[in-house]
A and B are shown apart, each in its own frame.
Chain A
Amino acid sequence: QKEVEQDPGPLSVPEGAIVSLNCTYSNSAFQYFMWYRQYSRKGPELLMYTYSSGNKEDGRFTAQVDKSSKYISLFIRDSQPSDSATYLCAMSQGSNYKLTFGKGTLLTVNP
């Protein structure tokens, strides 16, 4: 079983839709959870960073962590064409903060 599983998509939604992106993981030692957005041919950009279980909201983005189920989600409200990108989940343990990434989900928001 891979440490981090992420549905690669592609996911296509109309503008204004609510988008749900998900990752599951197997390593219960993961403590820090991140979501990155990567536009084509660009470096990943940190969107959300969470440490504990629960929800964290930033504008149209909400990150959700459920450590008991080993499941994290990113919700995008009122999606825009500019949200079209690949979304990567990432997580790390404590000591050296090496990140383990999902393979990314390609999202297209159609105007």
Chain B
Amino acid sequence: SQTIHQWPATLVQPVGSPLSLECTVEGTSNPNLYWYRQAAGRGLQLLFYSVGIGQISSEVPQNLSASRPQDRQFILSSKKLLLSDSGFYLCAWRPTFPGGEQFFGPGTRLTVL
């Protein structure tokens, strides 16, 4: 069976500090991978998605970036965090055979102070 991991689970960072969140998927190959941010009262916002190693599409211009160095690894980064980067960050994967459903990880709660 497939599982998706995210770490860290929670993170408190000062404004201006760097960020690295990691997501890995087990039990599948060549998944589509997604990063979302969920802010209170604003629903789920798609930040990045990737259909393969090194292939990143950005949905929202911001100070965040994403990378996919390995088939089942997806990383979300920032060089300098802003207060507005606080939120619940979710990684998701989707199998490559036809279908729309995505499966989410447990999330990382980021607080920028």
Interface residues in A38-89 by Cβ distance below 8 A to B read 41-46, 49, 51, 88
Decide yes or no whether B43 CB sits under 8 A from chain A.
yes
Decide yes or no whether B81 CB sits under 8 A from chain A.
no
Interface size on B, residues (CB 8 A): 24
Q: In the bound complex, do residue B100 and residue A92 qualify as a contact, i.e. CB atoms below 8 Å apart?
A: yes
User: What residues of chain A lie closer than 8 Å to B104, measured between beta carbons?
Assistant: 36, 43-46
CA A36 – CA B68 in complex, angstroms?
26
Question: How many A residues touch the partner, as a band?
Answer: 20 to 34
Q: In the bound complex, do residue A104 and residue B43 qualify as a contact, i.e. CB atoms below 8 Å apart?
A: yes
CA A33 – CA B99 in complex, angstroms?
10
* B108 to chain A: closest residue by CB: A43
Interface residues in A88-103 by Cβ distance below 8 A to B read 88, 90-92, 96-99, 101-103
